[in-house]
Chain A
Amino acid sequence: MYDFIYHRATSIGGAQSTFKSSDDPVYLAGGMTLLPTMKLRLANPSDVIDIGQLDGLTGVERSGDEIVVKAMTTHDEVAASADIATAIPALGSLADSIGDPHVRNRGTIGGSIANNDPAADYPAALVGLGSVVVTTSREIEADGFFTNMFETALEPDELITAVRFRIPEAACYMKFPNPASRYALVGVMVARTNDGVRVAVTGAGPCVFRVSEMETALTADFKPEAIAGIPVATDGLNSDIHAGSEYRAHLVGVMAARAVAACS
């Protein structure tokens, strides 16, 4: 790892002003992606702004028909939350499937979505559940938040403070993990909400995406058979030594059908 200037932020405003006055800064949340990237020298920030000890950025709250997860809440805390287990069990089990227990003790929801890894699980949860990302300056619909591989709608110094999840009628996340890395080769979140069904896919493409044909079919008839004949286009899907684009496209249908079956 190259040398850098370390800043321990004591307030959100302080973290942002350090960011603005630095050369090539980066925020450090749990560090589960950033630190390995820096160790491989794929990232070489001039300044690392550690937001890990800021107050008020962790915890889960239920308010009305929403679950609010603060940005620095770890995957372990999401997995262990009784409120989430009652309201959106699919979200708790998704968090419990990320990495391994030690990674879940450090990795945070805000860090994960700000990174927008194409194979990360949370993007499917946010888009599938129709969530809202709350930042230091605004609220961003999940549909518009994840813009491209490792890219989001965030401004450089903007910090995520929370994610608001609408509580669905039913939801389920099914993942086909890469047998070695355990990252999602394909992961599908299916959610039945009061304004229709949402189907969000991670791992298959460069960025999380929705499958509108499946959503329409499932809104009309929420059964695995309803999406049996719906093909997923292979254009633009990931293709690598682990799985070709055709295999991934096929898995989207299989995982979506399993998710529907587990919901109903």
Chain B
Amino acid sequence: MKVNVGVTVNGKKVTAEVEARTLLVQFLRDHLELTGTHVGCDTSQCGACVVHVDGKAIKSCTILAAQCEGTNVVTIEGLADGDTLHPMQEAFRDNHGLQCGFCTPGMVMAAVDLVTRHPQPNEELVRERLEGNLCRCTGYHNIVKSVVAGAEAMAR
């Protein structure tokens, strides 16, 4: 069955006819060619697919595109302001918060939501709140550092 989906993605209104079973992540990657959002596990564990729907971090592999009708979706591509990286992206770069980079889009999107709720997170809170994001490279240390530094930069 086909359904019509109308969503705002990174500030742009898009409408498309998709199969009802299309997941949001497939819609973003295959239909809109926004391949910054990754699929690591496809079983709602790794968090590589995290995007914001109406300002909240969600796993885009576990939501239908049709469920997002009328919502405002922000992906990693929508964070930077032109050529200027978002402070959280800049913090990941400065603190070597990535190695292969596969988990990074989800980490950054999760981190931005985390800082919106907890403007000054300490290391412990960051570790706890990144429970839904897995990284197989960094050992998390520099990711946590990046999020704490990104939070400080976002407050400035």
- Residues of A bordering B, CB below 8 Å: 1-6, 8, 28, 31-32, 35-36, 38-39, 48, 50, 52-53, 76, 99-103, 105-106, 182
Contact = CB atoms under 8 A, between A and B. Distances in A.
Contacts of A31: 62-64, 67
A4 B43 contact: no
Contacts of B59: 102-103, 106
B47 interface: yes
Contacts, number: 75
Contacts of A8: 66, 69
A6 B64 contact: yes
Nearest to B106: A102
Given A36-B44, A100-B133, A101-B131, 13 more contacts: A4-B21, A5-B1, A6-B20, A28-B64, A31-B64, A36-B43, A38-B21, A50-B64, A76-B56, A99-B132, A101-B110, A103-B59, A106-B63
8 tightest Cβ-Cβ pairs between the two chains A and B: A100-B132, A6-B20, A105-B56, A100-B131, A1-B21, A102-B132, A102-B59, A5-B1
27 contacts: A2-B21, A3-B1, A3-B21, A4-B21, A5-B20, A6-B20, A6-B64, A28-B64, A28-B67, A31-B62, A31-B67, A32-B62, A35-B23, A36-B62, A48-B20, A50-B67, A99-B132, A101-B57, A101-B110, A101-B114, A101-B129, A101-B132, A102-B47, A102-B110, A105-B56, A105-B57, A106-B58
B42 interface: yes
Interface string B19-48: 111010000000000000000001110010
Contacts of A48: 20
Contacts of B66: 6, 8, 50
Interface in B44-85: 44, 47, 50, 56-59, 62-64, 66-67, 69-70
Nearest to B66: A6
A53 B69 contact: yes
Contacts of B23: 35
